[in-house]
Amino acid sequence: MKHVLMTGGSSGIGKALRETLLQMGYKVTNISRSEGEILCDLSNTKTLECEVKKWLKTNEVDVLINCAGVGVFEPHESINVSKIKEIIDINLCAPIILSNLCLRSLKKTKGHIFNVTSIEATKHSKFSALYTATKSGLRDFGLCLFEEIRKDEVKVTSLNPDMTKTPFFDSLHFEPSSKSNEHLLPQTLANTMKFILENEAVITDITIRAPKFGITKKKNSL
Ligand SMILES: NC(=O)c1ccc[n+]([C@@H]2O[C@H](COP(=O)([O-])OP(=O)(O)OC[C@H]3O[C@@H](n4cnc5c(N)ncnc54)[C@H](OP(=O)(O)O)[C@@H]3O)[C@@H](O)[C@H]2O)c1
């Protein structure tokens, strides 16, 4: 049975990816704080390294999915330094570390890395400097890594979603529009992942958007 190691499988997009992978017959090991086979806070990169090294002693990885992430969309000077470090650790350092730790196994299995980045990795928006730095960094990391490891037949895909209805927005000042043609659903991204996994060719970079743009500002927003 092929084995997926993933982050973010406890909620939103990652939960839909996890459920689809289980339906496809994969064994899934999820890393998150609230629910999963490996309980770990990704901002604690030392613990992450220890837990995953231990896990890799008895497991191979066919697919690595870096999905966990957090958003902050505030004036940059209002974000405190510890929050900046935490967001970079979760969104960027953890995927880079996990790729590093899993590469030996992924080369053996001729496996696949998926990085869930964001539409923000492909453009430049007000109040998104920190988030975009992490997501465009992750996207470029994946694109460079593919050039390095394609000789070993390891695939790397950057999945760049636009606004998707998930708990991601619970702590933010805005959320996706409620109109069905102005937001994505997590299952749409899971269907895209399934298509990519089943494709012979390597899809290195894919941006997924709703047909129309829509955003709802919450009360007391900036
Ligand atoms: N929703 C969107 O519109 C959208 C658009 C583009 C890109 N994305 C990206 O898609 C990914 C998934 O987001 P989502 O919308 O599904 O959000 P979500 O429902 O809030 O899920 C976030 C996931 O990240 C995990 N996570 C957060 N902080 C963590 C930490 N410190 N340690 C371990 N795990 C942590 C959470 O797990 P626990 O809480 O269980 O630890 C959860 O599984 C993120 O990378 C996000 O940047 C989202």
User: pLDDT tens digit string along 9-49?
Assistant: 999 999 999 999 999 999 999 999 999 999 999 999 999 99
Q: Position of tokens 């959320």?
A: 175
* For the chain, percent of residues with pLDDT exceeding 90: 97
Q: Which pLDDT score is estimated for 91?
A: 98
Ligand 1 first shell, C-beta below 6 A: 7-8, 10-14, 32-35, 41-43, 67-71, 90, 116, 118, 161, 163-164, 166-168
* For the chain, percent of residues with pLDDT exceeding 70: 99
How far does residue 151's CA lie from ligand 1's centre (Å)?
Answer: 31
pLDDT tens column, 126-169: 999 999 999 999 999 999 999 999 999 999 999 999 999 999 99
Please tell me the number of Cα atoms within 13 Å of 75 on its side-chain side: 4
How far does residue 146's CA lie from ligand 1's centre (Å)?
Answer: 24
**Nearest Cα residue to atom 41 of ligand 1:** 33
Residue 221 pLDDT exceeds 90: no
Global pTM reads 0.98
Q: Which domains does the chain have, with CATH numbers?
A: 3-217 (3.40.50.720)
Dist CA 162 CA 123 (whole Å): 11
Instruction: Find the DSSP H helices in 110-198.
Output: 129-149, 186-197
Q: Which pLDDT score is estimated for 5?
A: 98
Residue 60 pLDDT exceeds 70: yes
Q: Which pLDDT score is estimated for 219?
A: 76
Q: At what angle do helices 45-56 and 94-109 cross, to 10 degrees?
A: 10
How far does residue 8's CA lie from ligand 1's centre (Å)?
Answer: 6
